[in-house]
Amino acid sequence: MTKSFLTVAIVAALVATTGCSLFRKSNRPKESSAISSEVEATFRQRWLDKRIAELTAQGVAAPAARTQAEQEFRDRFGFDQKPKK
């Protein structure tokens, strides 16, 4: 009897002190969509710059390299939005 009571008491204490609660509201602020848009825009620009440099190093003309890199980006990634200024 004492052993089972002690086990229940220890489990209850662990549950109460772990910070795990079903009714606790998170204090983390919601992620801003402006931040994610900015990250996507910078990723897109950096990826395009790198790919254009690779293509021009292989001998492709700059305008054709840009067009090909943009097409490859659209094919590979789902978010193809030009950065808004």
CA dihedral 69, 75, 77, 79 (to 10 degrees): 90
Residue 5 is predicted with a pLDDT of 80
How far apart CA 15 and CA 20 sit, in angstroms, is 7
Question: In this structure, is residue 77 part of a structural domain?
Answer: yes
Q: How many structural domains does the chain have?
A: 1
Please report the beta strands in 1-85, taking only residues with DSSP state E, as ranges in sequence order: none
Question: In this structure, is residue 11 part of a structural domain?
Answer: no
Question: In this structure, is residue 50 part of a structural domain?
Answer: yes
User: Which domain, by its residues, includes 54?
Assistant: 34-85
pLDDT in tens, 26-36: 677 776 778 88
Statement: residue 73 has pLDDT above 80: yes
Question: In this structure, is residue 15 part of a structural domain?
Answer: no
Question: In this structure, is residue 25 part of a structural domain?
Answer: no
Statement: residue 23 has pLDDT above 70: no
Sorting pLDDT into bands at 50, 70 and 90, what band is 18? low
